[in-house]
Homo-oligomer: A and B are copies of this chain.
């Protein structure tokens, strides 16, 4: 193991590598990693390059930049074709070679594939995506600790939100001040997502009816946004008396991010909004209790929807004009990891999974209500551990 490139301690690297090799073995004889999130998962550092990970034995790493990290098993490589030549000289030919087909571009995968086909014409290429996604869904104790640390800092920022608000502010102005507070607390700002179904700058602050504006992205809530090139979130509405403000901002403080939403209000809001907010908290509690290893994710969604239905809030659940088709999602390095808590999900909960639950409601003329917390799935039948612990009540910004 190379101590200058790899930032993990010996035990952690050994654990992660063995998990990765299990994942590789489930679909192939070796994998070539090219996605920055996967390389970071394996080494604790984002770098430009590739990793060749055999199902058995020692990986080889290739660096396209930052050649100061060159050392045993870590070579500087101008291009993938050179890396393929070096790998083929050192390793036996695999029967099946797994590539990151879900996260790298078609052209990039085709080039990697051709480079290795030139060395190993008989190797069959397969997609490593599903196996790596399942592997990343379960966090190691160190990764969970990094998420807990993100949660603590995100919580500290949320606790300051009532003091950040000043009368007359727009949703956008409040968001900018929360962004600054987050950054000063150490938020990295980067909002890593897998795939291209999501774009967001640093968070989503929604007030009044803007909460119900459909967005093109796969988020729980929408919002018109400030510009048609990024149509999501705050739209510059003044925060009005009788309306809520829902705050869902970036929790990436350590490379592993938490996800937390809290709702605020300006003055009194209708009883229906308060009731829906309490229902959101109740759904979170119930789902946290259900969230034990072996639980089908689908059942958690059904329970949440059933509770919304029982309260007569089904048509306000996860949006109104456009409803999101999930109530929670895995997260860690990226905001949309496995499992997904959705009606057709085939994911099964396992110890060490990190899951954000966000049962939200949109109340016409008022705005969005509800909370979101990040949880860790534990053993021994205990409920999921909540790692985002800012107060859950709707706080009046007027006080």
Contacts and interface: CB of A to CB of B under 8 A. Distances in A.
Interface of A: 7, 35-36, 40, 44-49, 64-68, 99, 101-110, 127, 129, 173, 176-177, 179-180, 183-184, 186, 188-190, 195-197, 199, 201-202, 214-218, 226-231, 254-255, 321-322, 333
Contact of A216 (B46, B129, B202): B46
Given A106-B109, A189-B201, 6 more contacts: A35-B196, A40-B228, A45-B228, A107-B127, A176-B183, A229-B254
Contact of A105 (B44, B104, B229): B104
Contacts of A45: 228-229, 231
Interface centre among A99, A102, A107, by most B CB within 10 Å?
A107
A322 B108 CA distance: 24
Contacts of A48: 197, 216-218
B215 A66 contact: yes
A66 B216 contact: yes
A201 B190 CA distance: 5
Nearest to A197: B48
B229 A40 contact: yes
Contact of A188 (B101, B177, B179, B201): B201
Contacts of A36: 196, 199
B216 A189 contact: no
A216 B254 CA distance: 19
Which residue of A44, A103, A176, A197 has the most chain B CB atoms within 10 A of its CB atom? A176
Contacts of A214: 65-68
Q: Which 6 A-B pairs have the closest CB atoms?
A: A229-B255, A189-B201, A106-B109, A48-B216, A101-B106, A45-B228
B228 A254 contact: no
Find the residue from A64, A109, A196, A215 having the highest chain B CB count within 10 A: A196
A32 to B, nearest CB: 12
A106 B34 CA distance: 13
Contact of A184 (B65, B176, B195): B176
A319 B108 CA distance: 27
Max chain B C-beta neighbours (<10 A), residue from A189, A217, A226: A189
A106 B228 CA distance: 27
Contacts of A173: 184
A249 to B, nearest CB: 12
A229 B190 contact: yes
A214 to B, nearest CB: 5
A230 B104 contact: no
A270 B324 CA distance: 59
A137 to B, nearest CB: 18
Contact of A179 (B108, B183, B218): B183
A44 B227 CA distance: 10
Contacts of A44: 228
A308 B7 CA distance: 37
Given A106-B105, A229-B40, A254-B227, A180 B189 contact: no
Nearest to A196: B36
Which of A102, A105, A217 lies at the interface centre, i.e. has the most chain B CB atoms within 10 A of its CB?
A: A105
B215 A189 contact: no
Contact of A199 (B46, B101, B107): B46
Contacts of A47: 216, 231
A194 to B, nearest CB: 10
B46 A231 contact: yes
